[in-house]
Amino acid sequence: MELSETSPLFSSVKLGSAELKNRFVMAPMTRSRADAEGIQTPLAATYYAQRATAGLIITEATAVTKQGSGYPVIPGIWNDAQVEAWKPVADAIHEKGGLAYLQIFHTGRIAHSSLVGETPVAPSAVAPNGETMTAAFASEGYELPRALSTEEIPAIAAAFGTAAKNAIAAGFDGVEIHGANGYLIDQFLRDGSNKRTDAYGEDRTKFLKQVLDAVIEAVGSDRVGVRLSPWTPFNSMSDSDLETTFRNAAKALSGRGLAYLHILNGGNDNRPSAEAFALELAEIAGAPLIINAGYDAAAATAAIEKGIAAVAFGVPFLANPDLVNRIEKGAELNAPDFATFYVGGEKGYIDYPELASA
Ligand SMILES: Cc1cc2nc3c(=O)[nH]c(=O)nc-3n(C[C@H](O)[C@H](O)[C@H](O)COP(=O)(O)O)c2cc1C
């Protein structure tokens, strides 16, 4: 018996204005194959179209401004050339019957001045631990970021709105606001990185709310999702009261009619209780829940049975363009090639094999 006969993973679901043909979401994954100007590679059209059997593709994180483009060769969406380069990607996904949201972000302090052309910016002058990549692909320690002035923050929120408009102009079905993994929005949310005493410190969700206002005004709330990662310490994130912080973040999303809330549960091995907290956040936000990190077919099926709307698969989709078909057939999955996650051109990008057709 094939899994499709028994699993709710293969049923359709509506998230905002998008009708997903199944509950498989491709998680956003940076692949570092754009050029130094943030222009997406033509190969991306092939890569994403190969994975268009997902109910929804969420693209790799895409910078809203040069100031927010803190990694080498990641794509941007702030100028016309970048928008033009994304158009064939959205078209190729649609031609294969798929749907796609562009993930938009600002890296904040997770950056190097050689890439962003200025000292990296952050809510507060608190440097992350560890090393990052320069424009010359050298590994260097993080620089001390410059704390943003109160006056310059609204323009960054507005840039998210422009990026969202650009994403729709490029043909995407919506945008995912990247509030996870220690980038600028997450830096504002948590007290380990936000030491401000102005309105953005008194209410650490204020920046998120301004971003939402700008993005919703630009494209409408039913084409907007938000990703948060309460349990993830990645990029030196910390908070003295995580659960309260993320309940507050979920409250900031409520009443807006968002397409979905996407929770990355990584960093907590206790999946059932982490799922329960994610469901609570989605309830507060009043949005359908997409869940992620470490799911296989059985865990994903169980999640849907608990009322989670869809499950995002990262590495499994990276290594298996036909993940949906493989899970349906109970077939083995390809092993991921970690060495080509962020380098390699076509290799490890568009050359993972599909199941031979019977
Ligand atoms: C190569 C790679 C790049 C990633 N880039 C992003 C990204 O751009 N944005 C994001 O929100 N998460 C990113 N992630 C995290 C994934 O979306 C996902 O949360 C992670 O892979 C765990 O899910 P999985 O267990 O299904 O792989 C990335 C993960 C990998 C492996």
Is the CB of residue 252 less than 8 Å from the CB of residue 240?
Answer: no
Q: What is the CB < 6 Å shell around ligand 1?
A: 27-30, 60-61, 103, 178, 180-181, 227, 264, 266, 292-295, 313-316, 341
Pocket test for ligand 1, best of 24, 25, 26, 29 (most atoms within 8 A of CB): 29
Average pLDDT over residues 331-346: 97
How sure is the predictor about 7, in pLDDT bands with cuts at 50, 70 and 90? confident
| pLDDT of amino acid 300 | 94
- The pLDDT of 17-26, averaged and rounded, is 98
Residue 358 confidence (pLDDT) above 70: no
- The answer on pLDDT for 142 being more than 70 is yes
Note the pLDDT of residue 293.
Answer: 92
CA–CA gap between residue 19 and residue 295 (Å, rounded) = 22
CATH number assigned to the domain comprising residue 45: 3.20.20.70
The pLDDT value given to residue 194: 98
Whether 350 is covered by a domain: the verdict is no
Angle, in degrees to the nearest 10, between helices 271-285 and 242-253: 40
| pLDDT tens profile 119-140 | 999 999 999 999 999 999 999 9
Going by pLDDT thresholds of 50, 70 and 90, the confidence category of residue 267 is: low
The number of the ligand 1 atom at minimal distance from the alpha carbon of 181 is 11
- pLDDT at site 4: 63
pLDDT at residue 268 tops 90: no
Q: Phi/psi at 101 (nearest 5 deg)?
A: -105, 140
**Beta strand extents in the chain (DSSP E only):** 13-15, 18-20, 24-26, 56-63, 100-105, 121-122, 131-133, 139-141, 146-147, 174-178, 224-228, 260-264, 289-292, 310-313
Task: Report in angstroms the alpha-carbon separations of 13 from 166, 250, 288.
Answer: 26, 22, 10
- Cα 336 to Cα 346: distance, rounded to the nearest angstrom: 14
The active-site residue out of 48, 101, 183, 349 is 183
At residue 356 the predicted structure's pLDDT band, cuts being 50, 70 and 90, is confident
Lowest mean pLDDT among 90-104, 246-260, 344-358: 344-358
* Average per-residue pLDDT for the chain: 96
> Is 357 among the domain residues?
no
Q: What would the pLDDT profile of 195-224 be if each residue is shown by its tens digit?
A: 999 999 999 999 999 999 999 999 999 999
pTM score, two decimals?
Answer: 0.98
Please report the pLDDT score of residue 271 as a whole number: 65
Atom of ligand 1 nearest to the CA of 227: 11
pLDDT of 320 reads: 98
Residue 351 lies in a domain: no
Determine, yes or no, domain membership for 243: yes
How sure is the predictor about 269, in pLDDT bands with cuts at 50, 70 and 90?
A: low
Query: How many domains, in total, are found in the chain?
Result: 1
Determine, yes or no, domain membership for 320. Answer: yes
What is the model's pLDDT at position 270?
60
Report yes or no on 352 lying in a domain.
Answer: no
Whether 348 is covered by a domain: the verdict is no
Cα–chain center distance at 44: 16
- Residue 236 lies in domain: 3-340
State the distance from the centre of ligand 1 to the C-alpha of 182, rounded, in angstroms.
13
Give me ligand 1 centre to Cα 27, in Å. 6
Residue 258: is its pLDDT beyond 70? Answer: yes
* Rounded Cα–Cα distance for residues 145 and 118 (Å): 10
Q: Ligand 1 centre and the CA of 223: distance in Å?
A: 21
User: Given ligand 1 and candidates 25, 30, 268, which is best to mutate, with the most ligand atoms within 8 Å of its CB?
Assistant: 30
Residue nearest to atom 23 of ligand 1 (CA): 293
Cα of 29 from ligand 1 centre, angstroms: 5
The band of 169, judged by pLDDT with boundaries at 50, 70 and 90, is very high
pLDDT at 266 over 90: no
Q: Is residue 84 part of a domain?
A: yes
* Mean pLDDT along residues 48-58: 98
pLDDT of residue 1: 53
Question: Which residue, judged by its Cα, is nearest atom 30 of ligand 1?
Answer: 29
Nearest to 30 by CA among 125, 138, 115, 102: 102
Ligand 1 midpoint to CA 292 (Å)? 9
Pairing of strands 131-133, 174-178: unpaired
Secondary structure (3-state) at 189: helix
Residue 68's pLDDT band (cuts 50, 70, 90)? very high
295 in active site: no
